[in-house]
Amino acid sequence: MSTDTGYNFAYLDEQTKRMIRRAILKAIAVPGYQVPFASREMPMPYGWGTGGVQVTASVITRDDTLKVIDQGSDDTTNAVSIRKFFAKTAGVATTDRTTEASVIQTRHRIPETPLKASQIIVYQVPIPEPLRFLEPRETETRRMHALEDYGLMHVKLYEDIARHGHIATTYAYPVRVNDRYVSDPSPTPKFDNPKMDNCPALQLFGAGREKRIYAIPPYTKVQSLDFDDHPFEVQTWEQDCALCGADDTFLDEVITDDRGGRMFVCSDSDYCRERRDGGHVGAQSPEAAE
Amino acid sequence: MYVAVKGGEKAIDSAHRLLAEDRRGDRRVPELGTDQIDAQLGRAVDRVMTEGALHDRKLAALAIKQAAGDLIEAIFLIRAYRTTLPRFGYSEPLNMRALRARRRISATFKDLPGGQVLGPTFDYTHRLLDFALEDEQPAAEEPTDASNVVELPVDMPRVLEQLARDGLIEEATPPTNEDTREVGDITRTPREFPADRDERLQSLVRGDEGFLLALGYSTQRGYGRTHPFAGEIRVGEVTVEFEPEELGFAIELGDITVTECEMINQFKGSAEHKPKFTRGYGLGFGHVERKAMSMALVDRSLRADEFGEARDAPAQDEEFVLSHADNIEATGFVEHLKLPHYVDFQSELELVRKMRAEIEARQPDPKPEAAE
């Protein structure tokens, strides 16, 4: 198929974009609040990024450069699929370099390279409601947000500590945005939570199937929930990245044989490549083997 | 040595080629025409139109072909196409009294004006495989003998209207917003709870036939019983009318086939109020009786609050039913588990290892784990 698809720029019709932009503006005005919107059926399945795609389609312009990542990588199949979708329907420039992108759509990660004020990061969100697994009813959770009634969440975190000695939430770790709404950072690992705090970039969250949009405006306070005696902490690894030697990134575990062999590499493939290009080597990089 | 997971793009292209080949199947077998699907797999077309929420037999047939007969995939194709269509406005309410019925049955009265007309139905067939169908029949020159097709009178009195005239059944409820007579539109406004009945019915029409069938069935087995009777089930053609803003009067757009089920349910009354039967309503494009009946059962169950009934069965739970009835939403989220989740999984793995290590550290005398 050619770039001339017979569809409007970035697929969505202008009325739909206007409706979504209104929802986005409201979301920015009330940080962390989930704004209901009339989510459309998209040509990819619900649960595969339709919310993020609708948000991106509504904010992207012809001058933008788009980066799409899934699990931190530009090469995962769904990231490839979404990038192709926008290359086809909007004809925008795409990149896999975080620094070159003006719009970044992501699933499950925030890039390791700090985001800039000129950037927008769009998160694909499966379940936008942080209280959903404590209370399945939307009527109830909306009331709880309205009354700032977050006791249930604190009890859950406390019970984790009582039972396991730890807060047993490792991804989609709840945050409090601008001292008001408890929000779901989408299933990013809690490793990425600190990057959301006081972030210069605009953070937009789209949940297509659940029909919700929320936002964190630039330089907004984002606090991971914790207790004084059990402060929030992020994951750490004993290993460094086997390819670039980074000791401060989120690592993916890769099974290398059927005898328990494994290696750890940066989940952010762009960051890892940039470090390697800059001369950094890891224990198992080809340069080190020579 | 770790081989980077590259080449997603190539893999996707190859998968698409394989899919196309797989869909076509053995090339020695003639290709299936969409006209054949429309004519001979009509019930599949009807389901795809109903749950795809778009009345277009040709497109539904095309979707079924493209989806290799996977009806939920076909429904998805239709939905994704439908959402791109411009919205000119809303049709006039269908005049269901003027429905030209091919089939009309009532389980509540032995005979009634207009009569009981079976029409084309599986109902009394013996489910014996007809091996004669294995052999291709030569195409007929003439259409089949129409002499046994009964032309049903238009403006047939409707069963529930007769009861309503005597006050024995509640009146059909008008759209929720009585001032503007405006009907909600679940494709243009986000779902909110509690939902109004017009929005609920819209969700149910699109809802998965299997899901509604199971829920309707559950009400018959005591999970929110509503004592249903099939008051009237009709299949036939009805005219769709549309009033363009600049014209000021309605014009006919064409005829569509619909199936309607009006269920008569459990009566309600009190010491002061004379008892009346209540209603459940089902409607779908084409010949979709199972869907229309299931929908009517669930519609009635979801009206529990209106009649002061306890809401303790799944079929009475509006949030539960409406949030899970849409098979496009459901299939997307279930199947998204195929997408990579290794970042989340890595996070869990790291925590589980850490917690295991802590327990091991607390046990100075490490014994092999006892068999459980």
Q: How large is the average pLDDT for residues A224-236?
A: 94
pLDDT at residue B84, rounded to an integer: 85
pLDDT at residue B114, rounded to an integer: 84
Show residues of chain A in contact with B86, CB under 8 Å.
13
The partner residue sitting opposite A80, judged by closest CB among B1, B9, B358, is B9
> B182 falls in which pLDDT band (50, 70, 90)?
confident
pLDDT at residue B112, rounded to an integer: 85
pLDDT at residue B2, rounded to an integer: 40
For B38, other C-beta atoms within 10 Å of its C-beta total: 17
The partner residue sitting opposite A47, judged by closest CB among B336, B350, B351, is B336
Under a CB-based contact definition with an 8 Å cutoff, are residues B158 and B166 in contact? no
Supply the mean pLDDT for chain A: 94
Shortest distance, CA B12 to any CA of chain A (angstroms):
7
Q: What pairing do the DSSP bridges indicate for beta strands A212-216 and A35-36? A: antiparallel
Helix (H, G, I), strand (E, B) or coil at A235: coil
Residue B23 above 80 pLDDT? yes
pLDDT at residue A2, rounded to an integer: 37
Of B289, B284, B264, B263, whose CA–CA distance to B276 is shortest?
B264
Residue A1 above 70 pLDDT? no
Residue B4 above 60 pLDDT? no
**Sole residue written with tokens 């076909």:** B74
Kind and range of the H or E element at A126?
Answer: none
> A289 falls in which pLDDT band (50, 70, 90)?
low
The partner residue sitting opposite B335, judged by closest CB among A45, A81, A165, is A45
Asked if B332's CB is within 8 angstroms of A48's CB, the reply is yes
Q: How large is the average pLDDT for residues A93-104?
A: 97
Of B106, B328, B316, whose CA–CA distance to B216 is shortest?
B316
Give contacts of A 159-198 with B, CB under 8 A. Answer: 164-166, 168, 170-172, 187-191
Shortest distance, CA A242 to any CA of chain B (angstroms):
9
Helices A50-59 + A77-89 axis angle, to 10: 30
Query: Which tokens hold the place of A132?
Result: 């959903």
Domain boundaries, chain B: 9-82, 96-121+152-172+184-326
Higher pLDDT, A35 or B372: A35
pLDDT at residue B267, rounded to an integer: 83
pLDDT at residue A231, rounded to an integer: 94
Helix (H, G, I), strand (E, B) or coil at B159: helix
Phi, psi of A34 (to 5 degrees): -85, 110
Q: What angle do CA B104, B293, B204 make, to 5 degrees?
A: 130
- Asked if the bond preceding B194 is cis, omega within 30° of 0, the reply is yes
> A179 falls in which pLDDT band (50, 70, 90)?
very high
Give the CA radius of gyration of chain A. 20
Show residues of chain B in contact with A41, CB under 8 Å.
76, 79-80, 82-83, 328
Residue B150 above 80 pLDDT? no
Asked if B346's CB is within 8 angstroms of A253's CB, the reply is yes
pLDDT at residue B274, rounded to an integer: 87
Supply the mean pLDDT for chain B: 89
> In the sheet that A212-216 helps form, which strands lie side by side, from edge to edge?
A35-36, A212-216, A202-207, A120-124, A103-107, A65-70, A93-94
pLDDT at residue B135, rounded to an integer: 85
Asked if A263's CB is within 8 angstroms of B343's CB, the reply is no
Shortest distance, CA B61 to any CA of chain A (angstroms):
18
Residues of A marked as catalytic:
32, 241, 244, 266, 272
Give the CA radius of gyration of chain B. 26
pLDDT at residue B157, rounded to an integer: 84
pLDDT at residue A3, rounded to an integer: 45
Using CA of residue B154, residue B94, residue B91, residue B66, what is the dihedral sign?
Answer: negative
Phi, psi of B263 (to 5 degrees): -95, 140
pLDDT at residue A122, rounded to an integer: 98
Q: Which of A58-78 are b and which e, b meaning 16 or more Cβ less than 10 Å from the residue's Cβ?
A: bbbeeebbbbbbbbbbbbbbb
Q: Is A25 on the interface with B (CB under 8 A)?
A: no
Q: How large is the average pLDDT for residues B159-184?
A: 79
Asked if B190's CB is within 8 angstroms of A38's CB, the reply is yes
Q: Tens digits of per-residue pLDDT, B57-112?
A: 999 999 999 999 999 999 999 999 998 888 888 999 999 989 999 999 999 988 88
Q: How large is the average pLDDT for residues B201-228?
A: 96
d(CA B310, CA A136) in angstroms, rounded, equals 19
Asked if A256's CB is within 8 angstroms of B2's CB, the reply is yes
pLDDT at residue B74, rounded to an integer: 98
CA–chain centroid gap for B309, Å, is 26
pLDDT at residue A173, rounded to an integer: 96
Q: Tens digits of per-residue pLDDT, A265-284?
A: 999 999 999 999 999 999 98
pLDDT at residue B364, rounded to an integer: 75
**What ipTM goes with this model?**
0.86
pTM for the model stands at 0.90
> B178 falls in which pLDDT band (50, 70, 90)?
low
pLDDT at residue A43, rounded to an integer: 92
Which percentage of chain B shows pLDDT scores above 70?
Answer: 91
For B40, other C-beta atoms within 10 Å of its C-beta total: 13
d(CA A110, CA A190) in angstroms, rounded, equals 10
Asked if A75's CB is within 8 angstroms of B8's CB, the reply is yes
Residue B147 above 70 pLDDT? no
Asked if B192's CB is within 8 angstroms of A36's CB, the reply is yes
Query: Which tokens hold the place of B15?
Result: 């998968």
